[in-house]
Homo-oligomer: A and B are copies of this chain.
Amino acid sequence: MGETKLTSIAELGEFGLIDHLTKDIKLTQKSTVTGVGDDAAVLNYSNEKYTLLSNDLLIEGVHFDMSYTPLMHLGYKSAIVNFSDMAAMNGIPLQIVVGLGISSKYTLEALDEFYAGIKKACDRYHVDFVGGDTSSSLHGLFISVTVTGEVAKDKITYRKGAKPGDILCVTGDLGGAYIGLLLLEREKKVFQANPDMQPEMAGKEYILERQLKPEARIDMVEKLNEKGVVPTAMMDISDGLASEALHIAKSSGTGVAIYEERIPIDQNTFDTAREFKLIPSLAALNGGEDYELLFTIAQKDYEKIKEIPGISVIGYMTEEAEGNRLITPDNQSVELKAQGWDALKK
């Protein structure tokens, strides 16, 4: 190797790495519509619908900490984060395959808990668990879930379809999963310092559930469909509102403006963020794993959206030259930056 400079993965970050590794991929199958670069690959297997395909990894010590993660919740979440990728394409999930690498510290009873969580998520979302692979691993638990889904061809929604003037919307509320994680990390430290201490979790059920047992917003995909609204662009919020909004803007060749005071934050999230001396809106902008949907609609669809409970209008898309902006409550415009969770920079 001589004096060749080698590049550490951390220098690139997750998105830089994916861009680098996939930049020269050629697609040759006629059934491939789109490959790398969105929440799922889009495949053309049938006449009426597109087939969606996506894969998410959950790795012990990186994505979850076994000291406070119940295995049933972990199984549930492993399925949900994949279902959410189908929602992000305006589709519904159909089947999953689960690859599981297990170290010898896990018992059969522990795995039963994990699979019970997977099956519970499949039951709830009407998804079939159709296969996978199970193997030993030398260190820790490694989970790979691959999901298939479907979407009508005229309803597929990519990241790239937003236009200047489109309205930016988000489902549910944001920041809860991140604040729930901070709470779990705090109680872990307290417990490590003094194992007799009781964790202070009373009244925090909502944000703990946001972290440990999120849901995929398939219900919102169905409601948009009922109202006849096809978003112009959509993503699910796994890395944080700011990161995803920038992705949509970049993919669409637009700018984006978000009104800070319009970001939906649950009271429980707000109060607990304050306990941690955090600005709640910043937790919502940069905290990940809420698995809500961020999407844009044409202005003509605004009246239809207003009729759907649980959708907030938080901003609008602009010409690319106007940049990406956060508009503060006192009407200052600051540059929108992503400080989202990035597994590879940890």
Contacts A53-B148, A95-B29: A139 and B138 contacting too (C-beta < 8 A)?
Answer: yes
Interface presence of A119 (CB below 8 A) = yes
Contacts of A25 in B (CB 8 A): 119, 128-129
Contacts A126-B29, A142-B142, A146-B97: A41 and B104 contacting too (C-beta < 8 A)?
Answer: no
Min CB–CB distance A29 → chain B (angstroms): 5
> CB within 8 A of A61: which of B10, B129, B138?
B138
Report the Cα distance A12→B108, complex, angstroms: 9
Min CB–CB distance A77 → chain B (angstroms): 15
Q: Quick one: CB contact mask for A108-150 with B, threshold 8 Å, 1 for yes?
A: 1101100100010001001111111111111110101010101
Report the Cα distance A129→B136, complex, angstroms: 26
- Across the interface, do A95 and B53 meet the contact criterion of CB distance under 8 Å? yes
Contacts of A254 in B (CB 8 A): none
- Across the interface, do A137 and B142 meet the contact criterion of CB distance under 8 Å? yes
- Across the interface, do A20 and B59 meet the contact criterion of CB distance under 8 Å? no
Say which one of A42-50, A294-302, A305-313 lies at the interface with B.
Answer: A42-50
Interface presence of A60 (CB below 8 A) = yes
Q: Which DSSP category, helix, strand, loop or mixed, fits chain A's interface?
A: mixed
- Across the interface, do B135 and A138 meet the contact criterion of CB distance under 8 Å? no
Q: Quick one: CB contact mask for A76-117 with B, threshold 8 Å, 1 for yes?
A: 000000000000000000110111111010111101100100
Interface presence of A27 (CB below 8 A) = yes
Interface presence of A17 (CB below 8 A) = yes
Chain B CB count within 10 A is highest, among A43, A55, A63, A109, for A55
Using a CB-CB cutoff of 8 Å, which residues 132-174 of chain A contact chain B? 132-140, 142, 144, 146, 148, 150
Contacts of A40 in B (CB 8 A): 131
Using a CB-CB cutoff of 8 Å, which residues 1-20 of chain A contact chain B? 4, 6-12, 14, 17-18, 20
Interface presence of A21 (CB below 8 A) = yes
- Across the interface, do B8 and A104 meet the contact criterion of CB distance under 8 Å? yes
Contacts of A112 in B (CB 8 A): 21
Report the Cα distance A41→B108, complex, angstroms: 24
Contacts A46-B47, A142-B142: A57 and B9 contacting too (C-beta < 8 A)?
Answer: no
Interface presence of A321 (CB below 8 A) = no
- Across the interface, do A6 and B111 meet the contact criterion of CB distance under 8 Å? no
Min CB–CB distance A37 → chain B (angstroms): 8
Contacts of A106 in B (CB 8 A): 9
- Across the interface, do A136 and B343 meet the contact criterion of CB distance under 8 Å? yes
> CB within 8 A of A9: which of B59, B129, B136?
B136
Report the Cα distance A109→B24, complex, angstroms: 15
Min CB–CB distance A31 → chain B (angstroms): 6
Contacts of A252 in B (CB 8 A): none
Interface presence of A261 (CB below 8 A) = no
- Across the interface, do B55 and A134 meet the contact criterion of CB distance under 8 Å? no
- Across the interface, do A138 and B59 meet the contact criterion of CB distance under 8 Å? yes
Interface presence of A35 (CB below 8 A) = yes
Residues of A that sit less than 8 Å from B by CB: 4, 6-12, 14, 17-18, 20-22, 24-29, 31-32, 34-36, 40-41, 43, 45-47, 49, 51, 53-57, 59-63, 94-95, 97-102, 104, 106-109, 111-112, 115, 119, 123, 126-140, 142, 144, 146, 148, 150, 343-344, 346
